[in-house]
Amino acid sequence: MTHFMYEDKENRASTLPNLYIVFMCKRNNEGMKIIKIGLIVKTILSLHDENLILEINKICLTNQALTSIVNDKNITFSLKKIAIEGITNLTEYEYLQIIAQQYLYITSQQYFKHS
């Protein structure tokens, strides 16, 4: 797993109420989702806000490593809200743990569904 760390020097993220895990996926020939990118996003936007995907897309386009994936027409976004009531900051390890757990959940569900 390769990851890029963003350092929140101004501690702005602690004031944002919504935490999402975002997977950018592509379907293979068998119709299974292949996860290409996993992100953790903290924002004021909700899942019901139609600008959420657009804003995530804009952020990804600022990172050269993510641009080719985001520009792929076959990429779909899969979002899940992570409950964080009472939690202001998570460690880098905790964020990676969230992504790894969700990745394993999604891939194992597909494996058993297609077996």
* Assigned domain for 77 exists: yes
The tokens describing 44, both together, are 């004021």
- Cβ pair 77, 64 in contact under 8 A: no
Exposure class string for 30-64: b at 16+ Cβ within 10 A, else e: eeebebbbbbbbbbebeeeeeebeeebeebbeeee
* Assigned domain for 3 exists: no
Arithmetic mean of pLDDT, 89-111: 83
Domain of 56 in residue numbering reads as: 16-114
pLDDT score of 1 more than 60: no
* Assigned domain for 5 exists: no
* Assigned domain for 10 exists: no
* Assigned domain for 9 exists: no
Task: Tell me what pLDDT residue 31 has.
Answer: 79
* Assigned domain for 51 exists: yes
How much is the pTM? 0.78
* Assigned domain for 4 exists: no
* Assigned domain for 7 exists: no
SS3 112: helix
Q: How many domains does the chain have?
A: 1
Query: CB atoms < 10 A from the CB of 79, how many?
Result: 14
Higher-confidence residue of 71 and 113: namely 71
- Cβ pair 41, 60 in contact under 8 A: no
Arithmetic mean of pLDDT, 50-71: 86
Distance (Å, rounded) from C-alpha 81 to C-alpha 45? 11
Please give the angle made by the CA atoms of 17, 70 and 108, to the nearest 5 degrees: 75
